[in-house]
Amino acid sequence: MNTYAYKVTNLIRDPNGIVVTAQFSITASDGVDSFTHNYNFGFANKPVTPTAFADLTEAKVIEWIKRDAGAENQFEASADAELAAYKLRKAAPVVTAGVPWAAA
């Protein structure tokens, strides 16, 4: 089972200071490999009691993201798929990088 680390990187708010979009990353890890993917999430529901922007914490915003993502967390499912794809690319690289004049 994978573990997930969320990091909120930016909050976009309306003229009233209400957060309408969160930009964040999730790092999915299986204990051996990890992969970080970036997301944007627009909040469909305005809070009943808005929290002042200055009083927000990263933990509170992550709680909102998880709540609004639903029971089948779409972001964690996507992070799982990205990690699986990374592991496949790592096992059998389809592209290589470098320059021919660099020492091997």
Tell me: the pLDDT tens digits for 39-60? 998 887 666 567 888 889 999 9
Average pLDDT over residues 3-16: 93
Long-range contacts of 79-84 (CB under 8 A, 24+ apart): 79/2, 79/4, 79/26, 79/27, 79/28, 79/35, 79/37, 80/2, 80/28, 82/28, 82/35, 82/37, 83/2, 83/28, 83/29, 83/30, 83/33, 83/34, 83/35
* pLDDT tens digit sequence for 55-80: 899 999 999 888 887 767 888 889 99
Percent of the chain exceeding pLDDT 70 equals: 91
pLDDT value for 49: 65
Q: Which two tokens stand for residue 36?
A: 């970080």
